[in-house]
Amino acid sequence: KKKDRKIKNYQNKALKMEKQAQLIGLNKKEILKKMGDEFNFYPDKKWVYTLKKYWLGKQKKLIIEFDDEDKAVKQYTKSTYEK
């Protein structure tokens, strides 16, 4: 079961990384369908998705920025360290 869970987690992460390249120009509803909610506050102009977690707290995150019409205009990845 543990091995199956690891495979599923890997597949989900790979899917998220693949989908991130197709987000510019999409609205928030379309992004929610592709990426899921992941605790983003809907009205915010910046959403963050965790793509990968490493040991010792390092995380790779996808940041999506929106314009006033809620269309994705910018996306980038950032590595952070969490406790």
Q: What is the pLDDT of residues 59-77, one digit of tens each?
A: 989 999 999 999 999 999 8
Q: What is the pLDDT of residues 38-53, one digit of tens each?
A: 888 999 999 999 888 8
Give the type of residue at 78. K
Q: What is the pLDDT of residues 11-20, one digit of tens each?
A: 666 666 665 5
Taking the whole predicted model, whether its pTM rises above 0.75 is answered as no
Q: Which residue has the higher pLDDT, 11 or 58?
A: 58
d(CA 38, CA 49): 7
CB 14 within 8 A of CB 25: no
Q: What is the pLDDT of residues 24-36, one digit of tens each?
A: 899 999 988 888 8
